[in-house]
Amino acid sequence: MLLEQIINGITLGSIYAIVALGFTLVFGVLGIINMAHGEIFMIGAFIGVLITSVLGLPLWIAFIAAIGVTVILGYMLERIALRPLRGKQGVSHLAPLISTIGVSILLENLSHHIFGAGNHPFRHSFAQIQFQIGSITVYLVQILIFVISITLMVVLSYWLSKTKAGKALRATAENLETASLLGVNTKRTITTTVILASALGGIAGILVGMAFNSVNPQMGLSMGLKGLAIIILGGMGNVKGAMAGGLLLGLAETMIVAYGDSGYRDAVAFITIIFILLLRPQGIFGKNTAEAGR
Protein backbone atom coordinates (compact mmCIF):
# COMPACT_ATOMS: atom_id res chain seq x y z
CA MET A 1 0.00 0.00 0.00
CA LEU A 2 2.72 2.44 0.95
CA LEU A 3 4.75 1.46 -2.10
CA GLU A 4 1.75 2.03 -4.34
CA GLN A 5 1.27 5.47 -2.84
CA ILE A 6 4.93 6.25 -3.39
CA ILE A 7 4.55 5.25 -7.04
CA ASN A 8 1.47 7.48 -7.33
CA GLY A 9 3.37 10.29 -5.66
CA ILE A 10 6.33 9.98 -7.99
CA THR A 11 4.02 9.96 -11.01
CA LEU A 12 2.30 13.13 -9.90
CA GLY A 13 5.58 14.66 -8.79
CA SER A 14 7.31 14.09 -12.11
CA ILE A 15 4.46 15.89 -13.89
CA TYR A 16 4.77 18.78 -11.44
CA ALA A 17 8.49 18.80 -12.10
CA ILE A 18 7.98 19.23 -15.86
CA VAL A 19 5.53 22.08 -15.32
CA ALA A 20 7.96 23.69 -12.91
CA LEU A 21 10.84 23.30 -15.38
CA GLY A 22 8.91 25.46 -17.81
CA PHE A 23 8.43 28.12 -15.15
CA THR A 24 12.00 28.02 -14.02
CA LEU A 25 13.47 28.32 -17.53
CA VAL A 26 11.45 31.44 -18.27
CA PHE A 27 12.16 32.90 -14.87
CA GLY A 28 15.86 32.17 -15.20
CA VAL A 29 16.21 33.87 -18.55
CA LEU A 30 13.61 36.64 -18.43
CA GLY A 31 13.34 37.18 -14.70
CA ILE A 32 9.54 37.08 -14.89
CA ILE A 33 6.86 34.71 -13.72
CA ASN A 34 4.99 33.42 -16.74
CA MET A 35 1.42 33.33 -15.43
CA ALA A 36 0.21 31.94 -18.77
CA HIS A 37 2.27 28.77 -18.36
CA GLY A 38 -0.54 26.91 -16.57
CA GLU A 39 -2.97 27.76 -19.36
CA ILE A 40 -0.54 26.63 -22.04
CA PHE A 41 -0.31 23.39 -20.08
CA MET A 42 -4.14 23.18 -20.09
CA ILE A 43 -4.26 23.73 -23.87
CA GLY A 44 -1.73 20.91 -24.26
CA ALA A 45 -4.05 18.65 -22.26
CA PHE A 46 -7.04 19.61 -24.44
CA ILE A 47 -5.09 18.88 -27.60
CA GLY A 48 -4.49 15.44 -26.11
CA VAL A 49 -8.23 14.96 -25.52
CA LEU A 50 -9.01 16.17 -29.01
CA ILE A 51 -6.57 13.85 -30.74
CA THR A 52 -7.13 10.67 -28.71
CA SER A 53 -10.77 10.81 -27.54
CA VAL A 54 -12.45 12.86 -30.24
CA LEU A 55 -10.44 11.88 -33.30
CA GLY A 56 -9.44 8.46 -32.02
CA LEU A 57 -5.84 8.79 -33.15
CA PRO A 58 -2.90 7.17 -31.37
CA LEU A 59 -1.15 8.71 -28.42
CA TRP A 60 2.11 9.62 -30.12
CA ILE A 61 0.22 11.86 -32.54
CA ALA A 62 -1.32 13.59 -29.52
CA PHE A 63 2.16 14.31 -28.19
CA ILE A 64 3.34 15.73 -31.48
CA ALA A 65 0.20 17.84 -31.91
CA ALA A 66 0.36 19.15 -28.33
CA ILE A 67 4.01 20.06 -28.71
CA GLY A 68 3.24 21.73 -32.05
CA VAL A 69 0.38 23.82 -30.69
CA THR A 70 2.16 24.85 -27.50
CA VAL A 71 5.29 25.79 -29.44
CA ILE A 72 3.16 28.14 -31.54
CA LEU A 73 1.50 29.50 -28.41
CA GLY A 74 4.91 30.04 -26.83
CA TYR A 75 6.12 31.91 -29.88
CA MET A 76 3.03 34.11 -29.92
CA LEU A 77 3.32 34.74 -26.19
CA GLU A 78 6.86 36.00 -26.66
CA ARG A 79 6.19 38.04 -29.79
CA ILE A 80 2.85 39.57 -28.85
CA ALA A 81 2.81 39.73 -25.06
CA LEU A 82 6.43 39.94 -23.95
CA ARG A 83 8.79 41.36 -26.56
CA PRO A 84 6.92 44.63 -27.12
CA LEU A 85 7.36 45.40 -23.41
CA ARG A 86 11.05 44.63 -23.23
CA GLY A 87 13.69 47.31 -23.02
CA LYS A 88 11.22 50.14 -23.45
CA GLN A 89 11.63 53.28 -21.43
CA GLY A 90 9.03 53.77 -18.77
CA VAL A 91 7.59 50.25 -18.86
CA SER A 92 7.11 48.96 -15.31
CA HIS A 93 8.95 45.76 -14.45
CA LEU A 94 5.56 44.34 -13.51
CA ALA A 95 4.18 44.89 -17.01
CA PRO A 96 5.29 41.51 -18.46
CA LEU A 97 3.74 39.74 -15.46
CA ILE A 98 0.41 41.50 -16.01
CA SER A 99 0.71 40.78 -19.70
CA THR A 100 1.08 37.03 -19.06
CA ILE A 101 -1.92 37.15 -16.71
CA GLY A 102 -3.86 38.67 -19.60
CA VAL A 103 -2.78 35.84 -21.88
CA SER A 104 -3.79 33.28 -19.26
CA ILE A 105 -7.30 34.76 -18.97
CA LEU A 106 -7.59 34.81 -22.75
CA LEU A 107 -6.54 31.17 -23.10
CA GLU A 108 -8.80 29.98 -20.27
CA ASN A 109 -11.84 31.68 -21.74
CA LEU A 110 -10.98 30.55 -25.22
CA SER A 111 -11.00 26.94 -24.12
CA HIS A 112 -14.25 27.53 -22.17
CA HIS A 113 -15.71 28.76 -25.39
CA ILE A 114 -14.39 25.97 -27.58
CA PHE A 115 -14.54 22.95 -25.29
CA GLY A 116 -17.15 23.96 -22.69
CA ALA A 117 -16.68 24.25 -18.96
CA GLY A 118 -17.05 20.65 -17.87
CA ASN A 119 -14.62 17.80 -17.41
CA HIS A 120 -13.45 15.98 -20.48
CA PRO A 121 -12.38 12.36 -20.18
CA PHE A 122 -9.09 11.38 -21.72
CA ARG A 123 -10.01 8.07 -23.30
CA HIS A 124 -7.41 5.74 -24.56
CA SER A 125 -6.96 2.00 -24.27
CA PHE A 126 -3.56 2.56 -22.77
CA ALA A 127 -4.97 3.65 -19.43
CA GLN A 128 -6.32 0.22 -18.58
CA ILE A 129 -3.07 -1.69 -18.93
CA GLN A 130 -1.75 -2.65 -15.53
CA PHE A 131 0.71 -5.03 -13.93
CA GLN A 132 0.57 -6.93 -10.73
CA ILE A 133 3.95 -7.04 -9.03
CA GLY A 134 3.43 -8.99 -5.83
CA SER A 135 0.62 -7.16 -4.08
CA ILE A 136 1.24 -3.88 -5.90
CA THR A 137 -0.69 -2.68 -8.92
CA VAL A 138 1.27 -0.54 -11.33
CA TYR A 139 -0.31 1.10 -14.37
CA LEU A 140 1.65 1.25 -17.60
CA VAL A 141 0.65 4.92 -17.81
CA GLN A 142 2.50 5.61 -14.58
CA ILE A 143 5.65 4.02 -15.90
CA LEU A 144 5.32 5.94 -19.16
CA ILE A 145 4.87 9.25 -17.32
CA PHE A 146 7.85 8.53 -15.13
CA VAL A 147 10.07 7.53 -18.06
CA ILE A 148 9.06 10.55 -20.14
CA SER A 149 9.65 12.91 -17.22
CA ILE A 150 13.04 11.50 -16.32
CA THR A 151 14.10 11.50 -19.97
CA LEU A 152 13.04 15.13 -20.35
CA MET A 153 14.91 16.16 -17.23
CA VAL A 154 18.08 14.31 -18.20
CA VAL A 155 18.01 15.66 -21.75
CA LEU A 156 17.32 19.19 -20.55
CA SER A 157 20.12 19.07 -17.97
CA TYR A 158 22.53 17.72 -20.54
CA TRP A 159 21.43 20.32 -23.08
CA LEU A 160 21.90 23.15 -20.60
CA SER A 161 25.28 22.04 -19.31
CA LYS A 162 26.98 20.64 -22.38
CA THR A 163 25.67 22.13 -25.60
CA LYS A 164 26.51 25.47 -27.09
CA ALA A 165 22.88 26.57 -27.21
CA GLY A 166 22.40 25.49 -23.60
CA LYS A 167 25.40 27.46 -22.47
CA ALA A 168 24.16 30.48 -24.43
CA LEU A 169 20.85 30.17 -22.58
CA ARG A 170 22.61 30.07 -19.22
CA ALA A 171 24.78 33.03 -20.16
CA THR A 172 21.66 34.96 -21.21
CA ALA A 173 20.00 34.00 -17.93
CA GLU A 174 22.89 35.35 -15.95
CA ASN A 175 23.38 38.57 -17.86
CA LEU A 176 21.69 39.61 -21.06
CA GLU A 177 24.23 42.30 -21.91
CA THR A 178 27.25 40.07 -21.35
CA ALA A 179 25.72 37.28 -23.42
CA SER A 180 25.12 39.62 -26.33
CA LEU A 181 28.69 40.94 -26.09
CA LEU A 182 29.85 37.33 -26.39
CA GLY A 183 27.97 36.95 -29.63
CA VAL A 184 24.71 35.43 -28.40
CA ASN A 185 21.63 36.58 -30.27
CA THR A 186 19.71 37.15 -27.07
CA LYS A 187 16.39 37.79 -28.81
CA ARG A 188 16.55 34.36 -30.37
CA THR A 189 17.68 32.76 -27.11
CA ILE A 190 14.73 34.31 -25.28
CA THR A 191 12.29 33.11 -27.95
CA THR A 192 13.81 29.62 -27.78
CA THR A 193 13.42 29.62 -24.01
CA VAL A 194 9.76 30.61 -24.05
CA ILE A 195 9.03 28.05 -26.79
CA LEU A 196 10.89 25.30 -24.95
CA ALA A 197 9.07 26.09 -21.71
CA SER A 198 5.72 26.06 -23.48
CA ALA A 199 6.44 22.71 -25.14
CA LEU A 200 7.30 21.29 -21.71
CA GLY A 201 3.96 22.63 -20.49
CA GLY A 202 2.17 20.97 -23.39
CA ILE A 203 3.80 17.61 -22.71
CA ALA A 204 2.90 17.89 -19.03
CA GLY A 205 -0.68 18.60 -20.09
CA ILE A 206 -0.99 15.31 -21.94
CA LEU A 207 0.67 13.43 -19.09
CA VAL A 208 -1.86 14.86 -16.63
CA GLY A 209 -4.70 13.93 -18.95
CA MET A 210 -3.37 10.39 -19.08
CA ALA A 211 -2.79 10.13 -15.35
CA PHE A 212 -6.09 11.59 -14.11
CA ASN A 213 -8.34 10.98 -17.09
CA SER A 214 -9.90 14.38 -16.76
CA VAL A 215 -9.26 17.72 -18.43
CA ASN A 216 -11.02 21.04 -17.86
CA PRO A 217 -10.39 24.71 -18.64
CA GLN A 218 -9.75 25.60 -14.97
CA MET A 219 -6.95 23.11 -14.48
CA GLY A 220 -4.36 25.59 -15.69
CA LEU A 221 -4.73 27.94 -12.76
CA SER A 222 -4.14 25.44 -9.96
CA MET A 223 -1.30 23.80 -11.88
CA GLY A 224 0.20 27.21 -12.52
CA LEU A 225 0.10 28.13 -8.85
CA LYS A 226 1.65 24.81 -7.89
CA GLY A 227 4.37 25.21 -10.48
CA LEU A 228 5.07 28.60 -8.97
CA ALA A 229 5.14 27.07 -5.51
CA ILE A 230 7.62 24.45 -6.70
CA ILE A 231 10.11 26.92 -8.12
CA ILE A 232 10.00 28.93 -4.92
CA LEU A 233 10.50 25.67 -3.06
CA GLY A 234 13.38 24.53 -5.25
CA GLY A 235 15.06 27.87 -5.78
CA MET A 236 14.03 30.37 -8.44
CA GLY A 237 15.50 29.70 -11.86
CA ASN A 238 17.12 26.47 -10.72
CA VAL A 239 16.59 23.36 -12.86
CA LYS A 240 17.57 20.82 -10.19
CA GLY A 241 15.37 22.64 -7.72
CA ALA A 242 12.37 22.39 -10.03
CA MET A 243 12.82 18.63 -10.33
CA ALA A 244 13.36 18.01 -6.63
CA GLY A 245 10.59 20.41 -5.64
CA GLY A 246 8.16 18.76 -8.06
CA LEU A 247 8.83 15.27 -6.75
CA LEU A 248 8.67 16.44 -3.15
CA LEU A 249 5.33 18.14 -3.64
CA GLY A 250 3.88 15.19 -5.59
CA LEU A 251 4.85 12.77 -2.84
CA ALA A 252 3.63 15.05 -0.06
CA GLU A 253 0.23 15.53 -1.70
CA THR A 254 -0.24 11.83 -2.38
CA MET A 255 0.65 10.92 1.19
CA ILE A 256 -1.81 13.45 2.59
CA VAL A 257 -4.59 12.06 0.43
CA ALA A 258 -3.72 8.48 1.33
CA TYR A 259 -3.13 8.83 5.05
CA GLY A 260 -4.64 12.14 6.01
CA ASP A 261 -7.50 14.21 4.70
CA SER A 262 -7.86 14.60 0.96
CA GLY A 263 -9.46 18.02 1.51
CA TYR A 264 -6.06 19.34 2.50
CA ARG A 265 -4.40 18.17 -0.69
CA ASP A 266 -3.89 21.58 -2.22
CA ALA A 267 -3.05 23.14 1.11
CA VAL A 268 -0.02 20.88 1.36
CA ALA A 269 1.77 22.68 -1.43
CA PHE A 270 1.55 25.99 0.28
CA ILE A 271 2.17 24.73 3.81
CA THR A 272 5.33 23.05 2.52
CA ILE A 273 6.42 26.33 0.98
CA ILE A 274 5.88 28.22 4.21
CA PHE A 275 8.03 25.71 6.07
CA ILE A 276 10.81 25.57 3.50
CA LEU A 277 10.94 29.33 3.23
CA LEU A 278 11.18 29.69 6.99
CA LEU A 279 14.14 27.31 7.03
CA ARG A 280 15.78 28.17 3.70
CA PRO A 281 14.46 31.45 2.28
CA GLN A 282 16.44 30.99 -0.93
CA GLY A 283 14.78 27.60 -1.66
CA ILE A 284 16.27 24.12 -1.46
CA PHE A 285 18.79 24.59 -4.26
CA GLY A 286 18.79 28.37 -4.40
CA LYS A 287 22.02 30.21 -3.88
CA ASN A 288 22.17 32.60 -1.02
CA THR A 289 23.30 35.54 -3.11
CA ALA A 290 21.69 38.51 -4.69
CA GLU A 291 22.99 37.65 -8.13
CA ALA A 292 21.40 34.20 -8.10
CA GLY A 293 18.02 35.82 -7.58
CA ARG A 294 17.95 37.44 -10.96
Partner 1 sequence: MLKVTDIETFYGKIQALKRVSLEVEQGQVVTLLGANGAGKTTTMKTISGLLKPKHGTVEFLGENITGLRPDQLLRKGIALVPEGRAILSSMTVMENLEMGAYHRNDKEIKRDIEEVMSQFPILKERKEQLGGTLSGGQQQMLAIARALLSKPKLLLLDEPSMGLAPLIVADIFKMIREIKENGTTVLLVEQNAKQALKVADYGYVMETGKVIINGEAKSLLEDSRVVEAYLGKKSS
Return the number of the residue (118 or 183) whose C-beta is nearest partner 1: 183
Binding mask 269-288 for partner 1 (x = CB under 8 A): ------------------x-
List own/partner pairs for 103-107 with CB under 8 A and 24 or more apart.
Answer: 103/35, 103/36, 103/39, 103/77, 104/35, 104/36, 104/38, 104/39, 104/220, 104/221, 104/224, 107/36, 107/39, 107/40, 107/42, 107/43, 107/73, 107/220
Return the number of the residue (148 or 171) whose C-beta is nearest partner 1: 171
Binding mask 29-58 for partner 1 (x = CB under 8 A): ------------------------------
Gap between the terminal Cα atoms of the chain: 43
Return the number of the residue (147 or 165) whose C-beta is nearest partner 1: 165
Return the number of the residue (79 or 188) whose C-beta is nearest partner 1: 188
**CA–CA gap between residue 254 and residue 79 (Å, rounded):** 38
Return the number of the residue (123 or 167) whose C-beta is nearest partner 1: 167
Return the number of the residue (171 or 251) whose C-beta is nearest partner 1: 171
Overall residue count recorded for the chain in this entry: 294
Alpha-carbon distances of 130 from 107, 118, 126, 143, 254, rounded to whole Å? 35, 28, 9, 10, 20
89 contributes a contact to partner 1 by CB under 8 A: yes
CB of 182 to partner 1, least distance (A): 5
Return the number of the residue (52 or 186) whose C-beta is nearest partner 1: 186
Looking at the chain, list the stretches that DSSP marks H as alpha helix, in order from N- to C-terminal side.
Answer: 2-30, 37-49, 59-76, 95-115, 140-162, 164-174, 176-181, 186-212, 219-234, 239-259, 265-279
CB of 82 to partner 1, least distance (A): 18
93 contributes a contact to partner 1 by CB under 8 A: no
CB of 28 to partner 1, least distance (A): 10
**CA–CA gap between residue 134 and residue 208 (Å, rounded):** 27
Q: What is the torsional sign of CA 106, 23, 118, 67?
A: positive
Return the number of the residue (177 or 261) whose C-beta is nearest partner 1: 177
CB of 171 to partner 1, least distance (A): 5
292 contributes a contact to partner 1 by CB under 8 A: yes
Binding mask 145-164 for partner 1 (x = CB under 8 A): -------------------x
Q: Site for partner 1 (CB under 8 A): how many residues?
A: 21
Binding mask 162-201 for partner 1 (x = CB under 8 A): --x--xx-xx--xx-xxxxxxxxxx---------------
Under DSSP, the state recorded for 131 is E
The tally of CA atoms less than 13 A away on the side-chain side of residue 248 is 24
Give contact residues for partner 1 (rule: CB under 8 A).
89, 164, 167-168, 170-171, 174-175, 177-186, 287, 291-292
